[in-house]
């Protein structure tokens, strides 16, 4: 019997109206501190979006706390839970923003959105319905390292650029469009936007790529899934895995995703370990000789470092800043 790993990584979102976002942010931040959770959490008037890591028992306590909060009564949390050996983050950020996923699309998924497909239903439609077209709603650096076989992708940096690419699929309005992303959150708005633009048969993969991998083995997802924690990418396909990305330097097949060591570039791209070493962590000769280039890191991931940082210190620092702004 395989031994479970001691830590969990949780990915989730919840579209629900939150009044008093600053007060809720403080309450949420303190709970995470008290339960040794790290990660990135966004709170907005439209809802909650987070990725956190912690010991499995602490993550279970966190999920129970969220589900029992009257604020979210009548809503469902769809937690994507992965096992891990350690924390997947080095810091805790709980921030207030205008949206829980930047889009500027002017839609409200609580009013109308694409039909949700469970991973099992998605698999059935994807493999057996000739009218189905898959559309990837992620950024280019994400789908460059992994995507569903046959899916349409857009050359966009973020979801705000979707209106600039909608003409690329206008001719598919008579098809069944299934949108997908990492955990499902982008598709809530992307599918709603497609409906606004006259697409009628719009679906979304509920729980995203991560849930499809966990529940259905990730069949026909080629490459790796880009994630927003220290892992950078994760394997989702246990059935017929493939490598689709190429090393930015030598063009050999590689799914080793890194950040350029030059912080002013910080490009997300695939560079094989041997080229990464030769380039001293950089993506180009210009970045290699840049005066601000960070020291070579064989993992290709650079987290922001702060002296004497702790989640509690970060919370107190924010409180001092808020008080200072009052005077």
Distance spanning both ends of the chain, measured CA to CA: 60
Q: Is the torsion defined by CA of 10, 190, 268, 142 positive or negative?
A: positive
Q: Annotated active-site positions, please?
A: 181
CA distance 269 to 275: 12
Residue with tokens 């990492």: 182
| Residue that the structure tokens 């950024």 belong to | 139
Going across the sheet that includes 7-15, the strands are 80-84, 7-15, 47-55, 38-44, 92-96
What span, in angstroms and rounded, lies between the C-alpha atoms of 53 and 88?
A: 6
Residue with tokens 């976002």: 21
> Does residue 106 come out as left (phi exceeding 0), alpha (psi in the -120 to 50 range) or beta?
left
């Amino acid at each position: 019997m395989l031994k479970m790993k001691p830590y969990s990584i949780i990915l989730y979102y919840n579209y629900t109206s939150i009044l008093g976002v600053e007060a809720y942010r403080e309450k949420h931040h303190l709970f995470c501190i008290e339960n040794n959770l790290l990660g990135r959490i966004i709170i907005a008037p439209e809802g909650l979006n987070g990725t956190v890591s912690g010991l499995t028992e602490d993550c279970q306590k966190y999920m129970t706390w969220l589900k029992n909060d009257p604020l979210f009564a009548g809503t469902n949390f769809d937690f994507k839970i992965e096992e891990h050996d350690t924390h997947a983050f080095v810091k805790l950020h709980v921030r207030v923003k205008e949206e829980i996923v930047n889009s500027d699309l002017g839609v409200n998924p609580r009013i109308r959105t694409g039909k949700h497909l469970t991973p099992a239903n998605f698999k059935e439609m994807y493999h057996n319905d000739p009218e189905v077209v898959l559309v990837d709603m992620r950024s280019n650096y994400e789908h460059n390292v992994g995507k569903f076989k046959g899916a349409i992708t857009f050359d966009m940096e973020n979801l705000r650029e979707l209106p600039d690419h909608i003409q690329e699929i206008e001719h598919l309005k008579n098809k069944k469009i299934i949108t997908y992303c990492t955990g499902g959150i982008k598709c809530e708005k992307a599918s709603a936007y497609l409906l606004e633009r006259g697409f009628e048969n719009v679906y979304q993969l509920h729980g995203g790529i991560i849930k499809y991998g966990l529940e259905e083995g990730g069949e026909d997802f080629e490459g790796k899934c880009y994630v927003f924690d220290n892992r950078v990418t994760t394997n989702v396909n246990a059935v017929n895995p493939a490598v689709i990305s190429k090393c930015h330097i030598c063009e050999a097949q590689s799914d080793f995703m890194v950040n350029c060591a030059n912080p002013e570039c910080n490009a997300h791209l695939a560079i094989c370990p041997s080229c990464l070493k030769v380039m001293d962590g950089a993506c180009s000769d210009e970045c290699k000789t840049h005066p601000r280039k960070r020291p070579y890191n064989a993992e290709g991931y650079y987290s922001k470092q702060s002296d004497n940082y702790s989640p509690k210190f970060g919370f107190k620092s924010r409180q001092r800043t808020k008080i200072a702004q009052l005077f």
